[in-house]
Amino acid sequence: MMRSMFSGVSGLRAHQTRMDVIGNNVANVNTVGFKSGRVTFQEVFNQTLRGAGAPDAALGRGGTNPMQIGLGTGVGAIDTMMTRGSSQRTDNPTDLSIEGEGFFIVKGSNADTFKFTRAGNFGLDKLGNLVSGSGMNVYGWMKYDRLPDGTIKYDTESEIGPINLYNDEFNGNKRVIAPKATTNAVLSGNLNSSIKPDDAIDDPQKPSDGQFSVPFTAYDSLGNSHEFSVCYWNTSDGGTNSWNYRIFEKGIDEDTGEVTYNPVDTNPDGTLVFTNEGKLDVDNSVIESFGIEPEGVAPLSINLDFSNVTMFSADCSVKPTNIDGYTTGNLVTFNIGSDGILTGIYSNGQQQPLGMVALASFSNPAGLQKIGDNLFIPTTNSGDFTKGLQAGSEGVGSLSPGTLEMSNVDLSREFTDMIITQRGFQANSRIITTSDEMLQELVNLKR
């Protein structure tokens, strides 16, 4: 009779534990990156009253099953459900969620150990560090190489470090992008074949003297801008279709303050020779190299490419279509790609990599231990953290910027489990009260 009471007590304790877990799940229904728990029960030791008996064919006796009385229930496991929660769009550039397996890697300080989270509600501190909601540094890579085709490749085999958008040991100050001197300029368009040669302008002294002028801007090694103009005039002589050009640099007269145009290269003028079909004659040079030597900076040398210039009966339309080089730029904003690369966007229209978010993977994610603040640490059953992984590779998911992974708590399931748990607790309490009444009857036998 006492056994039934103790079984009821074990049932009460087990169902109370299950209700505690359900309560925690419901409390965290809106916690970013939260992973719900699940309680499973198992029976405890059974008391054997009589063992099993084997049948005896010779005596014609049948076998008997063992007689056992269970001693109640206990908590078998409290599992962490690592299923992915739904995504919530926030459009915050520092918010990230992982589309698949993996964890973000964070650390509180240099003396701290790595911790892991699915909550990607990150932000920036005043020093430019990418940090979690509790101020822990988000880890990744800073060092990268630019391949010949222009693509960016990070050294993902190197050691990870805290991501800083403003400065790091490999790239220096990233709040400012250094200027790049102009080396190539492509001019494309048409020179009107209907314009006739004019002896009066066969030797222009400034762009306005020519029949058509094309301005463009170039930059020196310090980011200073230099304004140039290419002046064209028709020099066809009936047997040859040709246009001459002269390059001028725009300046300001220090004494008068007036705009001046100084020829960059006047002896001889450049010449573009066209075929009878209005295309450039390939036997003639279509690239003009010129240079200037500004004070205090490296000499500026530019290649002008005229290969896309035509001579048809249409309006003059030559203009610069592709000029490299740019002035100094300040960091304006940034974005994060699905591969985890943070790209800075600067005031001069250029872009530059700022860092790359690393992810971690474990053999058994459910074996990780929760330590609060949406953080996990490895255990002997989760597998060890060995190195950072690039998003979208080696089994980890890609990143979804501007979104957050919400809690994976299913309220409908939790409320259903709550009802079942409450009924189980109620039923076990009835076992105790009934056993108590039976004991009372037993005591009353003495009267």
Query: What is the per-residue pLDDT across 20-77, written as a single tens digit (0 to 9) for each?
Result: 999 999 999 999 999 999 999 999 888 888 999 999 888 889 999 999 888 899 999 9
The residue type found at 226 is H
- 446 or 119, greater pLDDT: 119
Tens of pLDDT, residue by residue over 338-351, are 999 999 999 999 99
Residue 431 pLDDT greater than 70, yes or no: yes
- Whole-number mean pLDDT of the chain? 92
DSSP symbols for 173-217: E-SEEPPB---EEEEEEE--TTSPP-GGGSS-SSGGGSSEEEEEE
CA-CA distance, 443 to 228, in Å (whole number)? 113
380-428 confidence digits (pLDDT tens): 999 999 999 999 999 899 999 999 999 999 999 999 999 999 999 999 9
By DSSP bridging, strand 375-377 and strand 369-372 are antiparallel
Q: What's residue 1's pLDDT?
A: 64
pLDDT of residue 24: 97
Backbone angles phi, psi at 108, to 5 degrees: -80, -35
The packing angle between helices 411-444 and 2-27, to 10°, is 160
Please report the sign of the dihedral spanned by the C-alpha atoms of residue 341, residue 136, residue 362, residue 399: negative
**225-to-188, 208, 220, 250 alpha-carbon distances in Å:** 22, 21, 7, 11
Residue pair 25/424 in contact (Cβ under 8 Å)? The answer is no
Cα(162)–Cα(157) distance, integer angstroms: 15
pLDDT of residue 317: 95
Tell me which H or E stretch contains 370. Answer: strand 369-372
Q: Which domains does the chain have, with CATH numbers?
A: 2-47+69-82+408-444 (no CATH), 87-177+331-405 (no CATH), 184-323 (2.60.98.20)
CA of 293: how far to CAs of 117, 189, 220, 264, 311, in Å?
A: 56, 29, 10, 11, 33
The more confident residue out of 254 and 217 is 217
Predicted confidence at residue 200, as pLDDT, reads 78
Q: What is the per-residue pLDDT across 134-145, written as a single tens digit (0 to 9) for each?
A: 999 999 999 999
- pLDDT at 217 exceeding the cut of 80: yes
For residues 233 and 311, what is the distance between their CA atoms, to the nearest angstrom? Answer: 12
Sign of CA pseudo-dihedral 415, 417, 419, 425:
negative
- Confidence grade of residue 267 (pLDDT, cut at 50, 70, 90): low
Give the pLDDT of residue 266. 58
- If 0-12 CB within 10 Å is exposed, 13-18 middle and 19+ buried, where does residue 117 land? buried
Q: Which among 326, 155, 320 is positioned nearest to 225, based on CA atoms?
A: 326
What are the DSSP calls for 350-367, one per residue?
Answer: -EEEEEEEEEE--S-GGG
Rounded Cα gap, residues 427 and 433, in angstroms:
10
Three-class secondary structure of residue 441 per DSSP = helix
Answer yes or no: is pLDDT of 447 > 70: no
Selected residue with higher pLDDT from 11 and 282: 11
Residue type, 261: Y
Query: What integer pLDDT is reported at residue 364 of this predicted model?
Result: 95
Q: Which two tokens stand for residue 238?
A: 């009936």
